[in-house]
Structure 1
Amino acid sequence: MARVGKTKNLVIGLVTLMLAAPLAACDDGRSGAEAAAKELASSLSALDVGSLAIEGTDAAAANQQLKDTFAGLGDVKPSVESGELTLDGSTATVPLDFTWNFGGTPWEYSSQAELTKSGDEWAVRWEPALLAPRLEEGEKLSLRSVEAPRGQILGAGDAPIVQERPVLRVGLDKTRVPADQAEASARALAELLGLDPDAFAKQTAASGAEAFVEGIVLREYTADITAEKVQAIPGAVALSDTMALAPTRTFARPLLGSVGLANAEQIEKSNGALQEGDSTGTGGLQQQYDAQLRGKDGVQVVAAIPAPADGSGTTGTKVFFEAPPTPGTTLKTTLDLNLQQLAEDTLAGVGPASAIVALRPSSGAVLAAASGPGSNGYNTAMLGQYAPGSTFKIIDSLAMFRNGMTADSTVQCTPTITVDGRTFRNAPGYPESSIGGVTLRDAFAHSCNTAFIAARDQVTQAQLESAAMSMGVAVEAPRLGAAAFLGSVPGEAEGTEHAASMIGQGKVLMSPLTAAIMAGSVAKGAPVSPQLVLNPDDGAPTGTASGTPTEGPPSSAAPTASTSVSPEAPSTASDKPITAEEAAALGDMMRAVVTSGHAGFLSAVPGAPVGAKTGTAEFGSENPPKTHAWIVAVHGDLAVAVFVEEGGLGAEVSGPLLQKFLTAAG
């Protein structure tokens, strides 16, 4: 029995040896080669091959070449995966699949690596093409951003407002001036361009040896900055380029904003969307819709081709990868270019902050929103917050109509009226013939403050708020598509504050846009909902709110900028909108301001009859107080508001501006 057991054990052992022999024969080195290929892919992903076995050069030299080759691609690292390996004895080939990601733009390619076995170790045969197909010795890759064509801003009828226009970029080319003379040239150029010489010299010194240091962008040479003067400064040049610009330097700039090179703060806040050298919008619609207008930049990966040592060729650029830019989206607006320019021309000589807003009541289209030179670049037309003065009597009158009065009802116009110790007066020059018992129409036409204040006991503050909302004032404007202040009328006020509200003062505030909406609602016979941007959501980045206002803090004259109706809370449209009958009665009284009131000068305006309402809003603690000058008007399917800050009387200051605008508008 023992002998049989030994024989059985011997047979099992022989079988085991016979089975093991084929397995050993199948271990042909594949597993080692595959492990080496995976290690190579991992090392390339980390941009560090210093620990690998390298054939053809030493590991340190290969590692340095790897870093030098890809240094121009920034901080991005590739994802590298090894593919199916092909084994041929002591050599193996394996595909390497590279994926780079440049701000959401992928660059994918495959190269071929060769491995050789020496003893028990697999080594990588090093060559440039392993890193990228067609890469040759000494070539270094760099990343270029290809700026997308910026979207245009169009006006009514798709007329181009902002489009690419020729410009001259005046600056210092450091390759054209000796290094020891660069500072002197920088200072001389700064003096010519009206820049701070110290700041420009510092900027020049901080720029690279081959940099172009931009000083100013001109539409064309001027009397002060000529080609001859620029060329006389060593290294100074004027490069021809294009830039997204409006028809003139000032055209609707507070509304549209501007476009320029992104500064450090804008780049930091962009979360990677902007890089140095990118253009971006600043202020107005250009900033609000920058993501749509800017589009998406393209990407190029290139290598410079050095000239042959014998001088037989020229330098060039080899393109390894190119993703074309996606052009920006065109922004369509309702602005009428002729009316906008006319409004700006009308305000050209006005010293204080000023504005003209014109809209089409039937559609709500904003045709012009001009802020005068005294606004110093602030969008007074849409963001200003001012007491509307007696233009608010349009809203008073609607509230009085709803309490049973008519244009022919008798009201008492007294020289003064005192409320809780505060005395209110009519504007200087108020006609004696309209003192005493007069019709509401007459009190409106001559703007009798005391008659409207006397009605405060019959018109509550809540009724004023309701009447304002009935006319599109102090409500949201969902179709506007731009930052705006749309009015604030408190629903609660007592005593002198309520009395002041009756003449458009106290805490009642409007922008010129709001005043135009109010007048337009009379012409339309229904509340006007203004519209400026026609396609606010076109091209909006996925997952973002398009058209979100981005205006910064405005001037002290206008404490906040918002599409909301007031700093407290936005309101929706009134549940009791103005009716056609109510609007007709208000239109009749506005016409009386022209035919028998103190805006008789508007009777000379050709075309449809003009209806108007003047306003003079007192503010401050001076004696006599300073005043803002207002006038609103309707002329056919056109509603206009004219405002001048600290302008005096509305009829005397804003009135002639309105007459000039309406007469030229035709």
Structure 2
Amino acid sequence: MSRALRTFALPAAALLMAGSLSACSAPPSPEATATLLATSLQDVDLSAVPLAGTDAASATAELATALAPMESIKRSVTLDSVSEDEDSADPQTATATYSTVWDIDSTDTDWTYTTTAILELDEQADTWAVRYSPSIAVPELEAGQYVAKRTSGSARGDIIGDSKAALVTDRPVLRIGINKEAVEESEWESSAKALAKLLEIDPEPYAARVVAGGERAFVVAITLRDDIDRTVTDEELDAIPGVLAQPATLPLAPTRTFARAILGSVGEATAEIVANSKGTVNAGDQVGLSGLQKSYQDRLAGTKGYSINIYDQDKNVLSTLASQDAVDGKNLVTTLDRDMQQLAESLVAESDSDAALVAVRPSDGAILAAASGPEDNAQNTAMLGKYAPGSTFKVITALAMLRNGDTPKTSVACPATMTVDGKEFKNYDGYPASALGEIQLSEALAQSCNTVFLKGAADAKSPALADAAAALGLNLSPSTGAGSFLGSVPDDSSGTELAANGIGQGIVQSSALGMATVAASIQNGGTVTPHLIDDPKPDAAPKPKNPLTADEAKDLASMMAGVVDHGTLKELRDIPGPKVIGKSGTAEYDGERNAHAWSIAAQGDLAVAVFVADGSGGAQTAGPIVGKFLTDATQG
């Protein structure tokens, strides 16, 4: 029912007379009580508000109980207006209108509504009191009811690979543990230890968790893939009293190790994630914990749906005040080729030290494989490893020399040793004596003459070396769509440091991804920008100041063909298919001459780099892995 506002005008004489009367004869304004109510509703504490028909303690307790399920959600209550009712019966009343805004989720859409409160004048107390009802806080809310938010989950997006193959999708799992309700208390500990032994986890901590859990608790020990590779059988589980194997699904890659460091994992949100989520993540939610799953959590997870409902004491929904449909997550499209990734992983899985194999498609920069070994290496060595690239870097120094006036046929001096600022450098042990003396630049690359490229770097100067690296894809800010490192080549080195940089030692660094990009740029005939994510598109990568030209790439490719034809990687020349170009490299990293082994190569529309942290030499350790990869990848 609408109420007419008490608004009327007085003649001037009456106003003068009214002004001469004592102030105590004027009734109090309802605005003070109405304003106090707004603050009290915000705090869910009516102890300071004058109330009519109930006491403050009872009203506060009732309201607190009704809103308790919503207490973690931010809200604001503001007074919009307050007006005395002209036609109200005795006692005099006023109507206050309030706006309430709840920050329900991370979107810009809030739950907003207005409520009204009736205030009545207590002439004896000379104040206005509020006629309390739960509906002054939430529309339609009555005594004995409560308000709560019910969420509905969204389907998580998949991670897709090249050719639209699903890399990470929901796959069946078993949540295995002890169901304490199904076994006698005297068997809790023994069953827990037996299960732990079967699952090869530490028995004591798990048994302690089982015993400490509630009497009806299901205490999960482990979640296992439920596929043909599961080694724990149903019969073994059934033989232990109280064991429950609960079927479920989780977003999983094809195998436990498939691109593990890149794709990341999904699991239950930690307390820290929940606390930092600003209400978007609740305890028990499945979220991305690492890798792409974490970086693209919002895209993959989508948005939960919700409804704000009024419930009775039996938890029945009486009415829905607001709702929002869930929005499913979107797929994340990567460039990884499932077969190539599995092949790459198989080739570095048994390495005795950290290793990596990266394959890039030269025509578009797609990262087709990025494998880190050995199998128990959880680090993303392939895309984030920072190592001296050894003699594979001579390809970059060769470009700087071409830009400094040399050609592949330029005659260059290759002495057995060279001294730079008092430091002696020499060629690698076993360097062929027939390739010493005056040789062509192409032969210096084929045989990997250190002294030629020491002098070449010194003559070209540090800025030119950095510029050549950028032209081949290094020393740029990566824009792959994932955590990446390509390379670091300073433009201010001099003396022995600059000379050492020229042969891939000194202080230059690269990753396997970076050196695969070098090979890809040469094979492509222009600077390649590698990328792992196709959708959403990564930000555009910065372009080098002096990109690789087609003529420069042709010269570099011809010299790298010599490496395979009769140089340090001649074991690759019989690989079926198009011509193979390549370069091997070894980088000593300590005084005991322990060394990193490298090899890069390209064939057709495929470029590859292999890194092994501890190897006997690039050609000997990394070269065969490159050969096996190119053979199997192109023949498959």
**Is TM (by shorter chain) over 0.5?**
yes
1:135-159: CA deviation from partner (whole Å, max 9, x where unpaired): 5664444334434333332223443
TM-score by length of 2: 0.81
**2:555 pairs with one of 568, 585, 589:** 585
**Shift in Å at residue 372 of structure 1?**
1.9
Change (3 A) 1:589 1:420: same
1:218 aligned to 210, 213, 224, which one?
A: 224
TM-fit CA distance, 1:227: 4.4
Greater shift in the superposed pair: 421-430 or 505-514: 421-430
Kindly indicate whether the alpha-carbon contact (under 8 Å) linking 2:33 and 2:50 is maintained by their aligned counterparts in 1: no
Amino acid at match of 2:554: A
- Greater alpha carbon shift after TM alignment, 413-422 vs 348-357: 413-422
Counterpart in the other structure of 1:529: 529
Q: Is the 8 A contact 1:354 1:375 kept in 2?
A: no
Q: 2:110 aligns to what SS in structure 1?
A: strand
Alignment of 1:430-441 (within 5 A): 430-441=431-442
Residue of structure 2 equivalent to 1:491: 491
How far is the alpha carbon of 1:391 from its aligned partner? 0.8
CA distance in 1, matches of 2:556, 2:356: 24
| Residues 191 and 323 of structure 1: CA distance in aligned 2, closer, same or farther (over 3 Å) | farther
**CA-CA distance at 1:635 after TM superposition:** 0.7
| Aligned equivalent of 2:626 | 658
Structure 2 counterpart of 1:633, which letter? A
Question: Tell me, what secondary structure is at the counterpart of 1:72?
Answer: helix
For residues 53 and 193 of structure 2, the distance between their equivalents in structure 1, rounded to whole angstroms, comes to: 53
d(CA) in 1 for partners of 2:73 and 2:277? 18
Partners of 2:111 and 2:188 lie apart in 1 by: 40
Residue 176 of structure 1: how far off its partner (Å): 6.0
1:248 matched residue in structure 2? 255
Amino acid at match of 2:226: E
Q: Does 1:261 align with 2:268?
A: yes
In the alignment, the residues of structure 2 paired with residue 638 and residue 197 of structure 1 have an alpha-carbon distance, to the nearest angstrom, of 49
In the TM superposition, 1:65-104 aligns within 5 A as: 65-76=62-73, 78-80=75-77, 89=89, 98-104=100-106
1:35-92 CA-partner distances (Å, limit 9, x unpaired): 8777666543332234567677655333322212221223446545588898763598
- Hey, what's the Cα distance between the residues in 1 that align with 2:49 and 2:192? 50
What is the deviation of 1:523? 1.1
Per the alignment, residue 621 of structure 1 pairs with 591
Q: 2:579 aligned with 1:609, yes or no?
A: yes
1:286 to 267, 279, 293: 293
From 30, 37, 46, the equivalent of 1:49 is 46
Between 1:183-192 and 1:582-591, the stretch displaced more is 183-192
Q: In the aligned structure 1, how far is the partner of 2:75 from the partner of 2:183?
A: 40
Answer yes or no: is the 8 Å Cα contact 2:159–2:332 preserved in 1: yes
Counterpart pick for 1:146 among 152, 156, 165: 152
Say if 2:111 is the partner of 1:107.
yes
| 1:199 CA drift (Å) | 5.0
Shift of residue 408 of structure 1?
A: 2.4
Identify if the C-alpha distance between structure 1 residues 403 and 133 changes in structure 2 by more than 3 Å, giving closer, same or farther.
closer
1:429–1:170: structure 2 CA closer, same or farther, 3 Å change rule? same
Q: Are positions 1:276 and 2:283 aligned together?
A: yes
> Which residue type is aligned with residue 595 of structure 1?
D
Query: How far apart are the structure 2 equivalents of 1:16 and 1:319?
Result: 53
CA 1:443–1:60 in structure 2 vs 1: closer, same or farther (change >3 Å)? same
Q: Do the aligned partners of residues 493 and 130 (structure 1) sit closer, same or farther apart at CA in structure 2, a change above 3 Å counting?
A: closer
Tell me how many residue pairs correspond in the alignment. Answer: 605
- CA contact under 8 A between 2:257 and 2:375: conserved in structure 1? no
The whole-number CA distance in structure 1 between the counterparts of 2:460 and 2:533 is: 37
Q: Aligned with 1:607: secondary structure?
A: coil
SS at 2:69 equivalent: coil
2:613 to 622, 645, 648: 645
The alignment-based identity, stated in percent, is 42
Q: Distance in 1 between matches of 2:193 and 2:80?
A: 57
How far did 1:591 drift?
A: 1.0
Alpha-carbon deviation of 1:16?
Answer: 7.0
CA distance in 2, matches of 1:175, 1:317: 30
AA in 2 matched with 1:100: W
Give how far 1:601 is off.
Answer: 2.4
Q: C-alpha separation between the residues in 2 aligned to 1:464 and 1:90?
A: 93
Q: 587-596 vs 294-303, which deviates more? A: 294-303
Which stretch has the larger CA shift, 81-90 or 602-611?
81-90
- Structure 1 residues 93, 300: CA separation in 2 closer, same or farther (over 3 Å shift)? farther
Letter in 2 for 1:519: A
The one-character-per-residue Cα deviations of 1:303-323 (angstroms, maximum 9, x if unpaired) are 66666xxxxxxx766663432
Distance in 1 between residues matched to 2:425 and 2:184, nearest whole Å: 74
- Gaps (5+ residues) in structure 1? 1-14, 21-26, 308-314, 539-545, 548-562, 564-571
Correspondent of 2:602 among 614, 634, 639: 634
Contact 1:45 1:77 in 2 (8 A): no
The CA deviation string for residues 312-346 of structure 1, in whole angstroms up to 9 with x for no partner, is xxx76666343233333433322222222221222
Structure 2 residue aligned with 1:452 = 453
Describe the SS at the equivalent of 2:488.
coil
TM superposition shift of 1:509:
1.0
- Contact in 1 for aligned 2:334/2:534 (Cα 8 Å): yes
Q: How many angstroms apart in 2 are the aligned matches of 1:135 and 1:231?
A: 50
Contact between 1:353 and 1:374, CA under 8 Å: does it hold in 2? no
Q: CA deviation at 1:193?
A: 4.4
* Distance in structure 2 (CA, Å) of the matches to 1:301 and 1:40: 24
1:413 aligned residue: 414
Partner Cα separation in structure 2 for residue 295 and residue 416 of structure 1: 62
1:413 is displaced (CA, Å) by 3.5
Where does the alignment leave 5 or more consecutive residues of structure 2 unmatched?
A: 1-12, 19-24
Q: Assess if the C-alpha contact under 8 Å between 2:347 and 2:625 holds in 1.
A: yes
Superposition pairs for residues 458-607 of structure 1, below 5 Å? 458-477=459-478, 479-536=479-536, 573-607=543-577
DSSP 3-state at the match of 2:489: coil
Q: Classify the secondary structure of the residue corresponding to 1:604.
A: coil
Q: 1:411 to 1:302 in 2, by over 3 A?
A: same
Q: Contact 1:161/1:246 (CA < 8 Å) preserved in 2?
A: yes
Q: CA deviation at 1:506?
A: 1.1
Q: Secondary structure at the match of 1:577?
A: coil
Which letter does structure 1 place at the counterpart of 2:528? V
Distance in 2, matches of 1:319 and 1:438, equals 89
Q: Deviations over 1:534-570 (max 9, x none)?
A: 34479xxxxxxx99xxxxxxxxxxxxxxx9xxxxxxx
Q: Which moved more, 1:154-163 or 1:483-492?
A: 154-163
Aligned to 2:22: none
Structure 2 letter corresponding to 1:244: P
> Distance in 2 between the 1:205 and 1:73 partners?
33
Q: Establish whether residue 297 from structure 1 lines up as the match of residue 294 from structure 2.
A: no
Which whole-Å CA distance do the structure 2 matches of 1:488 and 1:112 have between them? Answer: 66
State the 1:632 CA deviation: 0.6
Taking structure 1 as the reference length, the TM-score comes to: 0.78
| C-alpha distance in structure 2 between counterparts of 1:413 and 1:520, whole Å | 28
Which whole-Å CA distance do the structure 2 matches of 1:654 and 1:174 have between them?
A: 54
Following TM superposition, by how much is the alpha carbon of 1:210 offset from its aligned partner in structure 2, in angstroms?
Answer: 6.9
- Distance in 2 of aligned mates of 1:293 and 1:131: 37
CA contact (8 A) 1:70 1:142 kept: yes
Deviations 1:148-174 (A, max 9, x none): 333332223443322333333334566
